[in-house]
């Protein structure tokens, strides 16, 4: 692998939301390893300890669904590093309830984190990127961008909305040199389900076996796709939802063995 690839984001400045664990943490670590300066945002205060002592990683605690958080994290980034090149909208949450059993507050919280948070951070990031006529936004989607699953209606609705928001942001901002794309992740072994399921990681690992590849992904595998989309190697990708789901989205019915 040549140095251009290893240092594909050298001296780029990135914000990554949901940075305290899973895909977000893996993305922060990969971008940092490849030369980027990163603001690592999470609602969990533990993000400060995780990235403590990194002179090129600045932790930021905030609720991704808050307009003030979006404004503050971009302002901090510009203050500390003087520019913003990359935004990775990764933060997400989920609830397992059928529509008939779901409260309005539960519905609103999923949409506010998974979709409104992406809108708010993207809006503020674009405002910072337009003057320099360049930038990349990568949204972490899901195979739920396109498929319905029982008991996660709010999550599916938010990810379908994220796919459309990705496309509209892309066509609005490519004239400014800003590329917007998304990753359609399949099952990834993360802590996404841990707030209501004690064996969430094991559940995701098991569910991943339904994909043709026969397993779930590790967060580092999705981070590699994010780094690619954020780099100039993906210079002709605009408004794409790049499926990284082990083939889940291209099969019809169960895998035949």
Q: What are phi and psi of 96, to 5 degrees?
A: -100, 95
Give the residue-averaged pLDDT of 66-73. Answer: 98
Active-site residue (options: 96, 143, 155, 248): 155
Identify the structural domains of the chain with CATH numbers, from first to last.
10-247 (3.40.50.720)
Neighbour count for residue 172 (Cβ, 10 Å)? 13
Per-residue pLDDT reduced to its tens digit, 138-165? 999 999 899 888 999 999 999 999 999 9
- pLDDT digits over 204-250, tens only? 888 878 899 999 999 999 999 999 999 999 999 999 999 999 999 99
Return the percentage of the chain with pLDDT > 90, whole number. 81
pTM of the model: 0.94
Query: What percentage of residues in the chain have a pLDDT greater than 70?
Result: 95
Q: Is 248 a catalytic residue?
A: no
Which range has the worst mean pLDDT, 73-82, 121-130, 243-252?
Answer: 243-252
Question: By mean pLDDT, which of 29-33, 199-203, 238-242 is the weakest?
Answer: 199-203
């Amino acid at each position: 692998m040549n140095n251009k690839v290893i240092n594909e984001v050298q001296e780029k400045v990135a914000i990554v939301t949901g940075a305290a664990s899973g895909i977000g943490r893996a993305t922060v670590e990969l971008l940092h390893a490849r030369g980027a300066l990163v603001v690592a945002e999470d609602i969990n205060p533990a993000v400060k300890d995780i990235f403590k002592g990194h002179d090129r990683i600045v932790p930021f605690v905030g609720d991704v669904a808050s307009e003030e958080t979006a404004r503050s994290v971009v302002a901090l980034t510009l203050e500390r590093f003087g520019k913003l090149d990359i935004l990775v909208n990764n933060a997400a949450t989920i609830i397992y309830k059928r529509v008939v059993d779901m409260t309005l507050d539960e519905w609103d919280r999923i949409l506010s984190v998974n979709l409104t948070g992406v809108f708010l951070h993207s809006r503020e990031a674009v405002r910072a990127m337009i003057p320099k006529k360049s930038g990349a936004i990568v949204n972490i989607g899901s195979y739920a961008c396109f498929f319905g699953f029982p008991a996660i209606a709010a999550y599916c609705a938010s990810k379908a909305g994220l796919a459309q928001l990705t496309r509209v942001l892309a066509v609005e901002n490519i004239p400014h040199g800003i590329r917007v794309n998304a990753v359609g992740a399949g099952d990834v072994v993360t802590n996404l389900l841990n707030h209501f399921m004690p064996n969430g990681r094991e559940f995701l690992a098991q569910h991943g076996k339904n994909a043709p590849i026969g397993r779930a992904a590790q967060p580092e595998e999705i981070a590699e796709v994010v780094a690619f989309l954020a780099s100039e190697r993906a210079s002709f990708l605009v408004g794409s939802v790049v499926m990284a789901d082990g083939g889940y989205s291209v099969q019809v019915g169960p895998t035949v063995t």
